[in-house]
Chain A
Amino acid sequence: MLVTDLFRMSFHNLLLHKMRSLLTSLGVIFGVGSVIAMLGISEGAKRQALAQIEAMGIDKIIVYTQKPPVSGTSEGSANISMVETFGLTNVDLNHISRMDNVEAVTILRDARKKVNKGTTRLDVKLVSVTIDFLEESVSQMVQGRWFHPKDFESTLSVCVIGNAAKRRMFSLGERNVIGRNIYVEGAYFKIIGIAENFMGTQYSELGSPNDMIMIPKSTSDSLYGNYASITEGRQQRIQNVDHDVFMVKVRDTMHIDDTSKRISAYLTKIHRKVKDWGMLVPYDLLLQQEKTQNIFTIVMASIAGISLIVGGIGIMNIMLASVFERRKEIGTRRALGALKGDILGQFLIETVFLTTIGGFLGICVGLGISSLITFYTEMPTYCSLWSIMLSLLISSFVGIVFGTYPAWKAANQNVIEVLRSE
């Protein structure tokens, strides 16, 4: 029998019972649909997480100041001095910048000032930056300009604000705020540009560049030095912090592990009294994320596998019934010269058609579900071509696995018996 005839015949048979074919493949349709949707959700979440991690820079080690836990019991509290000194110091900066694999260190410092709009406190931080921060944080200017090297030689009160900070500080109508002054605890800063970070980067306690008012380090140093006075209720404290964040850029990502270990070892030794620092290696997070993702994928695959097995069993059931129902047709075909292989092929291809079409419909259902999820929950979903191809392949495979037994049964019907049956 010619292969084209075999395909035509099987397809013809499915179209004979459209409703039944559809109902039969429902199991596979929803199995594949949920697989696609779940893969879409997990892939979307993965991509979002990866993008955030990558935005911090795969070639970076982020070292940051952490306010040490107050060991304050009643006896200790009396001894707490008015000045709290903690965090990353200039000595640390010098040491780290001189390490082997370190190419550059970008430094950030939170001025620890309250940014208000009227009497409301805004979640905006006044941060001193170095000139390379824009590039290293993968941010872009959306309006105005970034700092000029000259801005770092002077102590001009200029600032670049993040887009989100701008929206918080100004009303919607105020489109162009370049050149305007903002007031932060006794100082005015002239806005020279608006920057935006599209990657969702977060720098530990400093948050996203979008929520920052960035001022040149030189300006900050002259205005505030390394001191910050903090008023909490009636208590006033002075915090002495040199630096809040080191963005350590490494030369060779291959050895990022060694470098991070060395930094960690160094800091552990120097800051051995209190743990006032933290470290974050995006590259490690990436590996971690991938590991978690793999576990997630295995779990998903098992669930998907079960749903496909259920779908497959349903199909096998219907195909067995179909073989019984069509046994006279099978007998007649055999009498007219069909080989066992022809009958086997006919039923097998029918089943594979059924599951593959089911798989195709399932992909449509899955894509629909994913886009609905994205629409209603704003959770990102991503359906890769890879997952679609895999689903189609798996659904065909299900057809082969669960179609073989009914097809074998069809091919091995006793011709004499089935011809006599009515």
Chain B
Amino acid sequence: MNSKNNSAVVRLDNIIKTYHLATLDVPVLKGVNMAVWPGEFVGIMGTSGSGKSTLLNILGLLDTPTDGKYQLDGQEVQSFSDSELAVIRNLKIGFIFQSFNLFPHLTVEQNIEVPMVYANMPKRERIQRARELGERVRLGHRLKHRPNELSGGECQRIAVARALGNRPSFLLADEPTGNLDEKTSNQVMEFFHELNRDAKMTIVMVTHNPALENTFHRVIHLRDGRVVDRNGDPIMGGHSSMENSFGGHN
């Protein structure tokens, strides 16, 4: 277990998140345990209100848990300061958004460069890498275009190229196909699989689209702030069941 512990890309231990409103406390995550192993393609699913978004924010280090332990590449990050978190987001997490969040006034190439800019990569190296990544998502011929000249599928591929800029530990995708039609959506999913297969990229994808359930290696179901099994039964804190929820796919 220890060796597994140390090699997990992401490991959450009893993560609790409570929002303090004026008069009452709203518990959103009530003790989430999960792990993501290198090379995995994990889906996080759940209905709205299940705490999915909150979990995503915590995984993406945009939010800090009220309690619990979050290890990223073996490093405990739950108590990091705002700027430390920004640096880790920059270097270790590749964000992919539902609505792409590309910068409309920048060219495709410049869009890909953005995270590298914040990593203080020298300009020449940055451009070189942006071109490589552009080629890799098969949009090398579009580098000088602006996002509004691209189709939705192409935009999402650019967003993936951008996420890969600083060689992150894992990609964190938030409904990446939510804004795409079915055909494009399939293409993008295929693209993610390719990335996972060929580049051994670890991917965590949050979605509520049941059609995608079978395309993941493993699905973490979330209901009412807890990880549940396929049937919707809570997986309680016992050792064996934890093992179950952390369980690797091989």
Contact = CB atoms under 8 A, between A and B. Distances in A.
Interface of A: 1-2, 4-5, 9, 12-13, 16, 328-329, 331-342, 415-416, 419, 422
Contacts of A416: 57, 62-63
B57 A339 contact: no
Contacts of A13: 105
Contacts of B99: 422
B143 interface: no
Nearest to B103: A329
Contacts of B103: 329, 332
A328 B82 CA distance: 19
Q: Which of A1, A4, A337 gathers most chain B CB within 10 Å?
A: A337
B115 A336 contact: yes
Top 7 nearest A-B pairs by Cβ distance?
A337-B90, A332-B101, A337-B118, A336-B115, A339-B86, A335-B95, A337-B89
22 contacts: A1-B120, A12-B105, A13-B105, A329-B103, A331-B101, A332-B97, A333-B114, A335-B89, A335-B95, A336-B118, A337-B86, A337-B89, A337-B115, A337-B118, A337-B119, A339-B83, A340-B82, A341-B83, A416-B62, A416-B63, A419-B97, A422-B99
Contact of A2 (B83, B115, B120, B166): B120
Contact of A336 (B82, B90, B123): B90
Where chain A touches its partner, the secondary structure class is helix
A301 to B, nearest CB: 40
B87 interface: yes
B117 interface: yes
Interface string B65-89: 0000000000000000011001101
A338 B86 contact: yes
Contacts of B133: none
A340 B118 CA distance: 11
Contacts of A337: 86-87, 89-91, 115, 118-119, 166
Nearest to B166: A337
B152 interface: no
Nearest to A326: B103
Nearest to B105: A16
Interface in B92-133: 95, 97, 99, 101, 103, 105, 114-115, 117-120, 123
Interface of B: 57, 60, 62-63, 82-83, 86-87, 89-91, 95, 97, 99, 101, 103, 105, 114-115, 117-120, 123, 162, 166
Contact of B117 (A1, A16, A334, A335): A1
B163 to A, nearest CB: 8
B49 to A, nearest CB: 15
Nearest to A420: B53
A5 B106 CA distance: 14
Given A1-B120, A336-B89, A341-B83, 7 more contacts: A332-B101, A334-B62, A335-B89, A335-B97, A336-B90, A340-B86, A416-B63
B170 to A, nearest CB: 14
B237 to A, nearest CB: 28
A5 B119 CA distance: 11
Nearest to B126: A5
Nearest to A342: B118
A335 B118 contact: no
B21 to A, nearest CB: 15
Contact of A335 (B60, B82, B105): B60
Contacts of A328: 101
A45 to B, nearest CB: 49
B33 to A, nearest CB: 23
Contacts of B115: 336-337
Nearest to B99: A422
Nearest to A328: B101
B193 to A, nearest CB: 24
B4 to A, nearest CB: 29
Given A1-B120, A337-B118, A415 B62 contact: yes
Contacts of A16: 105
B115 to A, nearest CB: 5
A332 B103 CA distance: 9
Nearest to B88: A337
A1 B62 contact: no
Contacts of A5: 117, 123
A336 B162 contact: yes
B114 A336 contact: yes
A419 B62 contact: yes
Contacts of B82: 340
B109 to A, nearest CB: 14
Contacts of A333: 114, 118
Nearest to B60: A335
A233 B63 CA distance: 102
Contacts of B87: 337, 339
Contacts of B90: 336-338
A229 to B, nearest CB: 90
A2 B114 CA distance: 12
Contacts of B62: 334-335, 415-416, 419
A341 B81 CA distance: 13
B22 to A, nearest CB: 17
Contact of B118 (A1, A12, A415, A422): A1
B146 to A, nearest CB: 12
Nearest to B114: A336
A340 B166 CA distance: 19
A422 B98 CA distance: 12
B101 A334 contact: no
Contacts of B114: 333, 336
A77 to B, nearest CB: 91
Given A1-B117, A341-B83, A336 B95 contact: yes
Contacts of A335: 60, 62, 89, 95, 97, 101
A2 B117 contact: yes
A338 B103 CA distance: 14
A337 B115 CA distance: 6
Contacts of A331: 101
